[in-house]
């Protein structure tokens, strides 16, 4: 497999935490590259079997009120989420997956920074670590991984932990 260009676009609309978007894009890219390098992940991902040169996805940093609104509007769910992932490529039927100019748009990861701060306190980790942990989780979803069974959940969480261990400049 040729190493694709990975384009990550981000926007922060949460004023109480000015995340270092450039650093998180770099971390996201390294996490993504780690996942692609693992044959067990790549072969089971939505990318396997497709030809592409570029992968792209978006990250939106917001608050829990926004994830609550998105959950109600788009998912018919009435709760605040720390993360929502719209995996548009993975969730499409295989014959409906769209590749334009050799680029695959995987979708969007939406992260509620206030909820992440709360979770970090509860878990006893830094909010930066929790943010990166959820970013790694969202990327797994964009690749088509879900966690409906305990076995699937354990696989996803273990992959996240391993990815974060491999990101050398994480410093969180």
Domains belonging to the chain, first-starting first, are 5-166 (3.40.390.30)
Q: What is the pLDDT of residue 108?
A: 98
The DSSP symbol for 45 reads: S
Average pLDDT estimate for 96-107: 96
pTM for this one? 0.95
What pLDDT score was predicted for residue 172?
46
Report the alpha-carbon distance of residue 60 to residue 111 in Å, rounded: 6
pLDDT (tens digit per residue) in 125-169: 999 999 999 999 999 999 999 988 999 999 999 999 999 998 865
- The number of beta carbons lying within 10 Å of the beta carbon of residue 94 is 8
- Interstrand relation of 103-112 and 54-62 (parallel, antiparallel or unpaired): parallel
C-alpha to C-alpha distance for 121 and 45, rounded to whole angstroms: 32
Over residues 13-71, the pLDDT tens digits come to: 999 999 999 999 999 999 999 999 999 999 999 999 999 999 999 999 999 999 999 99
Give the Cα separation of 93 and 89 in Å (integer): 8
| pLDDT value of residue 169 | 53
pLDDT of 101 reads 96
């Amino acid at each position: 497999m040729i190493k694709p260009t990975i384009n990550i676009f981000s926007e922060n609309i949460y004023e109480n935490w000015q995340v270092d978007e450039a650093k998180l894009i770099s971390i996201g890219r390294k996490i993504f590259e780690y996942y692609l390098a693992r044959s067990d992940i790549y072969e089971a991902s939505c990318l396997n079997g497709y030809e592409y040169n570029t992968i792209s996805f978006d990250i939106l940093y917001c608050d829990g009120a926004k994830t609550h609104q998105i959950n109600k509007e788009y998912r018919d769910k009435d709760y605040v989420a720390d993360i929502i992932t719209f995996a548009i490529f993975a969730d499409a039927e295989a014959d409906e997956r769209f590749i334009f100019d050799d680029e695959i748009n995987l979708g969007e990861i939406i992260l509620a920074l206030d909820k992440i701060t709360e979770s970090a306190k509860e878990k006893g980790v830094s909010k930066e670590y929790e943010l990166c942990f959820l970013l790694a989780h969202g990327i797994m979803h964009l690749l088509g991984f879900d966690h409906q069974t305990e076995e699937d959940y354990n696989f996803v969480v273990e992959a996240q932990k391993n990815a974060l261990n491999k990101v050398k400049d994480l410093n969180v």
